[in-house]
């Protein structure tokens, strides 16, 4: 293990913080790891380079790890998740024009995601009557929590995301420019790009991710299954290094240092002040507005965020089924849940093995509580869906 070069790919997002801090603060080196971080633009690049072995590990969208293991949308490559990089961190941002139009159709509180989703449904119907084109929303990848959060929000209000609006894939760094140019009317993306859009006066944050799902796994440290099985000591060292980094990030006294590290051009390349507000969970939702504080806007180590949770994997698989990306089967659900490896996390940190959390670990704002033990009944409860077969 010691001295073996490892290449880890990442996308310039604040939820790559544990990767960046583990390397730049020496936590990886202290575990005998020689890590080079490789900055990428798109999730397809990260996925493909991980799958073919150009990357030993990667900052990866949690659903991509599951999709790859199931052979959805690409070649089948079993992926293992021994460490979760963060819970939450996304937001839904819309143009000022769209925010005003939603407000015009609002029958309730603008902070209530059900009220805004219903307002969006009224707006969509009005635009259709006038013969206007469908609204366009950006998300980062078909297999992404961003996609599922957008869809969950829209569908709860009566908007069919496959029929009533257009969803397009955009790399995270391109979201703000696409909103500026009018290519999209809104987007769901991770930090810092929502805050950047507000800072530039071209976007308004409509909802924080936790408004939609109280607890949503977002990015993970992903490795190929066979690679991990051949290098258990390396995987354990990666877990320890990133756990120390996550705990370092969570300390309020370290926020200036962490913000400066992430702000570097070869890392996230964003304003350190904006990054700090994200780490604090204190974001301005519109130009000139007072910051809104959210204690769970993004978590790296708090609330057990770093420990992989198979219930989260089951929820992500359920979204793939709901939106026609995957057929439903008990075997596929079992494969999806097995991608997340809390046993490896516990062993690396010397923790007592304990039962995985079951029941509603998601906390969605609408619909029934999530029960992974009876996924078919859960999926049947939704009026808007696009399930196969």
Domain ranges of the chain: 5-87+217-269+302-380, 90-212
Q: For residue range 139-162, list pLDDT tens digits in order.
A: 999 999 999 999 999 999 999 999
Exposed / middle / buried, residue 380 (Cβ in 10 Å: 0-12, 13-18, 19+) = exposed
Quote the crossing angle between the two packed helices 255-263 and 272-280, to the nearest 10°. 130
Given a cut of 70, whether residue 382 has pLDDT beyond it is yes
128-159 core/surface letters (b: 16 or more CB in 10 A; e: else): eeeeeeebbbbbbbbbbbbbbbbbbbbbbbbb
Mean pLDDT value of segment 199-225: 97
* pLDDT confidence band for 342 (50 / 70 / 90): very high
Q: According to the model, what pLDDT value does residue 227 have?
A: 98
Q: According to the model, what pLDDT value does residue 387 have?
A: 93
Given a cut of 60, whether residue 357 has pLDDT beyond it is no
CATH 1.10.645.10 for the 5-87+217-269+302-380 domain, yes or no? no
Taking CA 127 as the corner, what is the angle to CA 100 and CA 148, rounded to the nearest 5 degrees?
A: 75
Q: For residue range 298-318, list pLDDT tens digits in order.
A: 999 998 999 999 999 999 999
* Cis bond before residue 192 (omega within 30° of 0): yes
Q: According to the model, what pLDDT value does residue 388 have?
A: 81
Centre a 10 Å sphere on the Cβ of residue 1 and count the other Cβ atoms it contains. 16
Taking CA 302 as the corner, what is the angle to CA 248 and CA 245, rounded to the nearest 5 degrees?
A: 25
Q: For residue range 82-134, list pLDDT tens digits in order.
A: 999 999 999 999 999 999 999 999 999 999 999 999 999 999 999 999 999 99
Please state the three-class secondary structure of the chain as a single string: CCCCEEEEEECCCHHHHHHHHHHHCCHHHHCCCEEEEEECCCHHHHHHHHHCCCCCEEEEEHHHHHHHHHCCCCCCCCEEEEEECCEECEEEEECHHHHHHHHHCCCCCCCCHHHHHHHHHHHHHHHHHCCCCCCEEEECCCCCHHHHHHHHHHHHCCCCCCCCCEEEECCHHHHHHHHHHCCCCEEEEECCHHHHHHHCCCCEEEEEHHHHECCCECEEEEEEHHHHHHCHHHHHHHHHHHHHHHHHHHCHHHHHHHHHHHHCCCCCCCCHHHHHHHHHCEECCCCCCCCEECCCCEECCHHHCCCCCHHHHHHHHHHHHHCCCCCCCHHHHHHHHHHECHHHHHHHHCCCCCCCCCCCCCCECCCCCCCHHHHHHHHHCCCCCCCCC
Tokens representing 295 are 């204690």
Given a cut of 80, whether residue 66 has pLDDT beyond it is yes
Q: For residue range 323-338, list pLDDT tens digits in order.
A: 999 999 999 999 999 9
- pTM (2 d.p.): 0.96
Question: Quick one: which of 90, 97, 88 has its CA closest to 204?
Answer: 97
Tokens representing 70 are 């199931």
Is 292 in contact with 111 (CB distance < 8 Å)? no
Q: Give percent of the chain with pLDDT exceeding 90.
A: 94
Q: Tokens 């635009």: give the residue.
A: 127
Q: According to the model, what pLDDT value does residue 354 have?
A: 63
CA–CA distance, 22 with 302 (Å, rounded to integer)? 17
Mean pLDDT value of segment 214-231: 97
Q: Give percent of the chain with pLDDT exceeding 70.
A: 97
CA–CA distance, 178 with 243 (Å, rounded to integer)? 35
Q: For residue range 164-173, list pLDDT tens digits in order.
A: 999 999 999 9
CATH 3.40.190.10 for the 90-212 domain, yes or no? yes
Q: For residue range 191-203, list pLDDT tens digits in order.
A: 999 999 999 999 9
* pLDDT confidence band for 1 (50 / 70 / 90): very low
Given a cut of 90, whether residue 353 has pLDDT beyond it is no
Given a cut of 70, whether residue 389 has pLDDT beyond it is no
Q: What is the largest CA-CA distance in the chain?
A: 65
Average pLDDT, the chain: 96
């Amino acid at each position: 293990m010691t001295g073996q070069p490892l290449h880890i790919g990442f996308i310039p997002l604040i939820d790559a913080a544990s990767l960046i801090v583990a390397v730049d603060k020496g936590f990886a080196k202290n575990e005998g790891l020689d890590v080079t971080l490789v900055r990428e633009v798109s999730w397809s690049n990260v996925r493909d380079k991980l799958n073919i072995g150009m990357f030993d590990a990667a900052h990866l969208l949690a659903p991509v790890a599951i999709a790859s293991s199931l052979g959805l949308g690409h070649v089948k490559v079993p992926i293992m998740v021994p460490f979760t990089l963060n819970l939450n961190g996304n937001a839904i941002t819309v143009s000022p024009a769209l925010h005003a139009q939603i407000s015009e159709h609002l029958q309730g509180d603008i902070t209530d995601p059900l009220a805004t989703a219903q307002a969006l449904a009224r707006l969509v119907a009005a635009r259709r009557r006038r013969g206007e084109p469908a609204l366009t929303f950006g998300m980062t990848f078909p297999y992404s929590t961003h996609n599922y959060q957008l869809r969950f929000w829209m569908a709860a209000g009566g908007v069919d995301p496959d029929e009533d609006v257009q969803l397009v894939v955009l790399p995270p760094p391109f979201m703000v420019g696409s909103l500026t140019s009018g290519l999209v009317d809104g987007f769901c993306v991770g930090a810092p790009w929502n805050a950047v859009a507000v800072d530039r006066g071209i976007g308004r944050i409509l909802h924080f991710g936790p408004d939609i799902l109280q607890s949503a796994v977002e990015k993970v440290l992903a490795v190929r299954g066979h690679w991990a099985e051949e290098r258990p000591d390396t995987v354990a060292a990666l877990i320890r290094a990133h756990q120390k980094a996550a705990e370092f990030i969570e300390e309020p006294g370290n926020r200036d240092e962490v913000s400066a590290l992430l702000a570097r051009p070869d890392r996230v390349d964003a304003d350190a002040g904006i990054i700090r507000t994200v780490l604090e969970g204190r974001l301005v939702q519109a130009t000139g507005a007072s910051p809104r504080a959210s204690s769970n806007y993004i978590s790296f180590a708090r609330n057990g965020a770093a420990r992989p949770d198979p219930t989260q994997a089951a929820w992500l698989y359920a979204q793939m089924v709901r939106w026609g990306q995957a057929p439903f089967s008990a075997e596929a659900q079992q494969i999806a849940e097995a991608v997340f490896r809390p046993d490896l996390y516990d062993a690396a940190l010397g923790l007592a093995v304990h039962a995985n959390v079951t029941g509603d670990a998601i906390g969605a704002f609408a619909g029934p509580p999530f029960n992974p033990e009876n996924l078919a009944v859960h999926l049947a409860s939704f009026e808007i869906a696009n399930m196969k077969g």
